[in-house]
Structure 1
Amino acid sequence: MRWKFLPVVLIASAAAIAQTPAPANAPSPQATAPRTLQAGPVTADLKSSLDSKKAKQGDPVTAVVNADASLPDGTRLPKGTTLNGCVTEVAAYDKKAGSAVGSVTVVFDEAKTKDGTVTPIVSMVRELKPSPMAQYMASQGGGTPADPSAMAPSSSSAPSGAGSSGAGSSAGAAPAANMPAASMPSAAASSSDVAKKEAAEAPAGAVQTAIPDVVLAPPANASASGTIASNGKNVHVDGGSQLMLAVAVRPQQPAQ
């Protein structure tokens, strides 16, 4: 199944990179004026697993780009480029303590090519899928499909003509504000009363991923790349799982 890329616009300020513009009444408009960054689609394989029971804040997280990608500013991220980052927040599931959701928040803030070139980046995780091997094993077992999104009509998650345009689709695309990730429908949310209950208890803005029982939510900290979570248990994502990210080069900070 092909990835479906939604156009993405990332917003940057002089102090940090955020997904929303700075408040209009900010004390120093010149220093905090938002910048719009055009982000390009990048697909990568998670190098190691993520688990809310084991992860700790600051743990390194890496993913390897699995197809050549070009960002709107011309920066190339060839296949094999490593996306480096870390765990920024962890919430382990603990029913006794009243924690009903296990979650892990990560940030990918650096891209390093095979020749050693390092590029600071801003990124947002847009979609999460099982590894090809996990999908194959699930299909051979005859159980629940590894990719439930394959069962949903493509028109439910993307406007006509926006599904398979690939990395070049950002040109002339509508701003991301018109189609935020949180508006993507969850295939699992309406399948049963249990699914509806789980969707209601999941983090705000969470959408079902192609990995069963794992949702993707916007991070509370706008500088992070995304939050993965599971309701009623610790979230676990295997190494080798596929990430679809929106990536832009981080602008240089102005000289003080």
Structure 2
Amino acid sequence: MSLLVFSAVILAALLHALWNALLKAQPDKYAGAFAVSLGGVPLGLACLAYAGLPAVESWPYVVSSAIIHTFYFLCLLNAYRAADFTQVYPIARGAAPVFTALASGALLGEVLSPLQATAVAIIACGVMSLVFAGRGGKSLSASGLCWALATSAIIATYSLNDGAGARLAGNSFAFYGASATLNAILMAIYFALRQPAALRNCFTVGRRSLLIGGPVSFIAYALVTWAFAHAPIAMVSALREVSIVFAVLIGTFVLHEKMDWRRILSSFVTLTGVVLMRVAR
């Protein structure tokens, strides 16, 4: 993995942690989720204006990407309703690289070297171990675990779909610009039918997610989509999950949550995998 791709994915991980922290702080999670989706539309349209429409052969992936990301938002919201953020997020993000690595080999023919596979496994273990650094060993409910694993499977699905689509699109930013715009339309339709208050509240209680979270989220995943086109999808998927380490740091130094030895150890394991990922061939 080149230094440029590596740096882009690390930046994306930081931005991902930031917009998730904003969403977590929203009193109305439905309004916050829609606000994040809607807030990325101006940048999506700007990408389309600059790069043009993605290649015709990539449009099935564009449509499926928008649909999968809609399910991702809805699944993530249910996971946060069923369990704590510090339990759901590490499982959802930590298991995804393993699913992605297995599926990318079987479906896309991407075979990682032993060192690359080891780096993916170390990052996944480090991220998932953060679930045990929660609030005094509070148990995870069965529904919370199921929603978290379902979210993880969806992350792996959109990673594979978007990686393949970005490579066919001719321009990864055109691909994600189209996908993000369509996703916002699908989210609007869903909330209009199921949670109409979210459409109104996204401009009031969800304003911060709309104005900050949406653009930050768009930039974060636009960088990841670009990286998918320039490096093995499994490696990019694993590296971006370093976002949980940034989330822990934000929680400690910004939100003043307690940093205990378990979180420090988990973060160290994850960063070990990150270093190995950088040098792996």
TM-score (norm 2): 0.26
Q: Which has the higher helix share?
A: 2
TM-score (norm 1): 0.28
Give the structure, 1 or 2, with the largest relative contact order (CA under 8 Å, sep 6 or more): 2
